[in-house]
Structures are given as structure tokens and as C-alpha cells.
Amino acid sequence: MLQSISMEKALEIFQEYASTVGMEEIAITDSFERILAEDIVAGFPLPPFSRSPLDGYALCAADTAGADELSPASLRVSQTIYAGEMPAGPLLSGETAAVTTGAPLPEGCDTVIKFEAISRVGDTITISSALRAGDNVVPRGEDIDRGEKVLERGSNITPAAVGLLASLGLQRVKVFKKPRVAVISTGDELLDLGEPLRPGKIYNSNLHPLSAQIKESGGIPFPIGAIPDEKTAIAAALKSALMEYDMIITTGGASVGGKDLVKEAIVLSGANTLFWKVGMKPGTPAVCGEKDGKLIVGLSGNPSAAMITFIMLVRPILRTMAGKRSTNLPVVSAEMEEPFRKKSCQRRLLRAIVTWKNGAYHAIPAGILSPGALKSMVACNALIDIPAGHGPLQRGEKVSAVLLPALYCL
């Protein structure tokens, strides 16, 4: 078992377990936020026919050659084409077709003039300028060619991507299955929601932020509930979760206290311990086990420590397991607007509020920063990444800040 490893080493070890968990076919109405498991190739061009981008008159530009205010061109309106209809026939020389936005253009037309730019009397329109072929025409396939790869396997299905799938007439798509992640809280002090608060006890809150984080990472959380600090009970919970789920996250009992039994329970469940303790504060007492390619990640019970360890270590692997291509959070350089007076013996991830002002990022620490304090975790939108051995942060000092995903921010 490795002990006291760097965050990079922990991430590297996790990468060995980063395979996706299969595919499924779903309706595109359910596909927003899912990850494509297939390339999407256009079966036909978009638009499927040349069309008018405005309400006006379709004509052949050559019929307006030399036209000006003094000698305007006159054309006969031979047909009207509404969006959804087909032209009655080709345009002959000297003819024009009234068209609405989205109407297919007739053969023989190479330009469209807007309704407001002509004058019409009866079936004759007059145009007082020479037009250029190609103006105001949306050619067939302008946006997408037939056979073009429009979306790649591994892409996020965004609102616009759903639109693209629908424009191509697709009703179903193949997406990666979401990894199923068990969340087990450990601790004799934990009460379920709904129980009356008793002396010495606290509510099992960790289950809920972690479940939300699992969802944000593309997984499905399965909250198992609270297990007392008993080695055999924790091992039994791990053992049954290993049979059901793709990954297991525990909180509590990962440190060095008399009732910190998750490490031993991992062994008792038949899993191998990969590492214990990671060089990061908060979150040092993380422990990791593995059985048959499935990871057990044991996080500190302290609510903010558990969340931060999840962000830095678990989120990247879970996103990869979910088929997502981007797993890294953006890191920006920010200027401290207030000092932070503590030294950082270990690498520290400091909850901070980062704002963009006057062309630069500025950071302030987000309140009470002990690993169990949650208010600062709610307030923060970034984690300042302070290297091990760094002294206090001065006002004006430049720091690296990891920006949290939008769904983490108020």
C-alpha cells in the first residue's frame, strides 16, 4: 500500500480504473447532458434544399443587369411559394416568384430581393438596382454536407447539439451509461434526516452533497445510508456495494482515530488497498481500495474536506468513466485582495471567492475554512491551490485558483 502520495499520483492511479461502463440507446428528448457514445454523421444535407432566408422575391440576377432608378427592371410574378410548399416549376427569364422565409427556391433563380426593396403593381414588380447572383440564397447543404461528421463520440449533448440531432431527424442516440456510485457514510454520531437531534449526534449531511457531486460528474448516486463505526458492518456494506455498483465512496473513519476503521474494512471486504493519505489539505486522510477493477474511495468525514477531495480526485475519474472528454477544471491566476495568514505545510486548497474585475481575477478567502465548516464551501466559487511549504499569502500576491463548475456556484 502506498502512503502519503501526491494528488497527481492519486490521479494517475485512478486513471488505471477509468473505463466507461457501457452504452445505451435513448430518446433524444432525454439526451440533454448525456455523452454521445457514437459519431453522428449527417444522412442528408442541411438545409435539405436551397431556400430563401427572407420574405421577398426570387429571381435571376441577370434579369436585373443595368437596372437603376431611371431604368428599373420589371419582372412578372409567375408563382408564390410558401415555406413547406414546392415550386410549381422553374423560373423563366423575366419571371419572379414571391417567396416566404424558408421556402424552397425554384430552378432558374439565383438571388432573392427582400419584399421591402421592390414595388409591386398587380403581377409586376420593379427593381431599381442590379442584383448579384448568390445574394440572399441559402444553398442546399450550406450548414452541413451529406456524410459530414457533425458530432463526435464523447461530446456533451448540449442544447444546441440536441437541436442538431433533431434537425437530422434522429429520434434516438447511443450514449454512455452513467456510472452507478454507492455513497456510504460511516460514523456512530450520524442521524438520518427526520430523526430528532440528540446530544452528541449530527445529521448525516455528507450523503447529500456527495450525491449532488456524483450527478454533476455524470454518475448516478446510490445513497446507502449511515453505517456505525464497526469494522464488520462497514466491510459488509462495502462487499454488497461492490457487487451492485461501479464505484463506492465512503465518508468518515479514514483517519488515525480509534474508530477510524474504513481502511481495515476495505481489507476485510476482500479489496486491495491502493493508497492511504494524500498530500492535500483539507482531505489528507483519503484511502483508496480496489476490487475487480472497481474503486472504493474513502474520504474524510469532514463535509468540506469530503467535497474538496471529491472535486480534486474523484470528479476527474468519474467524468472519464461517464465518457466525458473534459475532466479538468479551469485554473486561473488571481490576485489576493486580502491576506491569508496561515502557512501551508501541505498543499492547501483554500476555499475562495474569485471575481473578475478591471481585466483581472481577484480572490478573497471564503470565510471560516476549517474542514468541517460548510458555509465557506457554499460561498466559494474557486479553490486557491497553494503549494506545500508556502508561507502566508500577502495581499496583492498572485495565486493559482481552480474555478469550480457552474453547478457548484450560488
Given candidates 56, 179, 301, 323, which one binds ligand AMP under the rule CB under 6 A?
A: 301
Q: Which long-range contacts (CB under 8 A, 24 or more apart) does 371-374 make?
A: 371/281, 371/282, 371/283, 371/300, 371/302, 371/303, 371/304, 371/305, 372/302, 372/303, 372/304, 372/305, 373/304, 374/205, 374/303, 374/304
Site string for ligand AMP, 18-57 (x = CB under 6 A): ----------------------------------------
Tell the smallest beta-carbon distance from residue 242 to ligand AMP (Å). 20
Of residues 242, 283, 239, 286, the one with CA closest to residue 265: 239
303 binds, among Mg ion, ligand AMP, none (CB under 5 to 8 A by kind): ligand AMP
H or E stretch at 158 = none
Residue with the shortest CB distance to ligand AMP = 301
| 218 versus 252: smaller Cβ distance to ligand AMP | 252
Told to check if 371 binds Mg ion by CB under 5 A, we report: no
251 belongs to the binding site for ligand AMP (CB under 6 A):
yes
Determine if 376 is a binding residue for ligand AMP (CB under 6 A).
no
Of 188, 176, 259, give the one whose Cα is nearest residue 219. Answer: 176
Nearest approach, Cβ of residue 225 and ligand AMP (Å): 10
Our CA angle for 15, 178, 17, nearest 5°, is 15
| 230 part of the interface to ligand AMP, by CB under 6 A | no
DSSP strand pairing (190-191 vs 202-203): parallel
Of 232, 235, 376, the C-alpha closest to 302 is 376
Q: What is the CA radius of gyration of the chain?
A: 31
Judged by CB under 6 A, the number of residues near ligand AMP is 20
Q: Which of 20, 204, 250, 273 binds ligand AMP (CB under 6 A)?
A: 204
Give contact residues for Mg ion (rule: CB under 5 A). Answer: 187, 252-253
Give contact residues for ligand AMP (rule: CB under 6 A). Answer: 185, 187, 189-190, 202, 204-206, 251-255, 257, 260, 300-303, 372
